[in-house]
Structure 1
Amino acid sequence: MSDAEVKRMKEKLGLTREQLHDLKGGINASKRDFYKKPNGDIVVKPKNGKGPGEPTGLNIKNI
């Protein structure tokens, strides 16, 4: 996801920086990033982008 999309998600959902890190899995959150699937689902993957990703239950189209 772009920085602008992450910022929009944070603002629209009223999330704090800590809550964003919790969505990434808390511990070692700095080693993970948000990725957007073609259907808009937001998942968390390692920074290298490998793997299917862990669902967040959020969709960029609903934010």
Structure 2
Amino acid sequence: MPTLPLAVDIADAVLQADAPLDTEAKAEELLKAHPEAGASHEEVRTVLEEESKVAMPARAKTRKS
């Protein structure tokens, strides 16, 4: 399961972002940390963008509470 650590780090990056995530830079950083995952830059960037869109409303609700 070489992709699991990358997936966990993607989730962490999205959840810890206080501002809009620079998906280009974060994808590059994650790929350097997880070359074993065999993912492309485009794949990681796309997942970061999609997960960020989903997480934004959830983070807003959490911060208001």
Bigger CA radius of gyration = 2
Greater RCO, 1 or 2 (C-alpha within 8 Å, sep 6+): 2
> Is TM-score (shorter-chain normalized) higher than 0.5?
no
| TM-score where L is the length of structure 2 | 0.28
| TM-score where L is the length of structure 1 | 0.29
Larger strand share, 1 or 2:
1
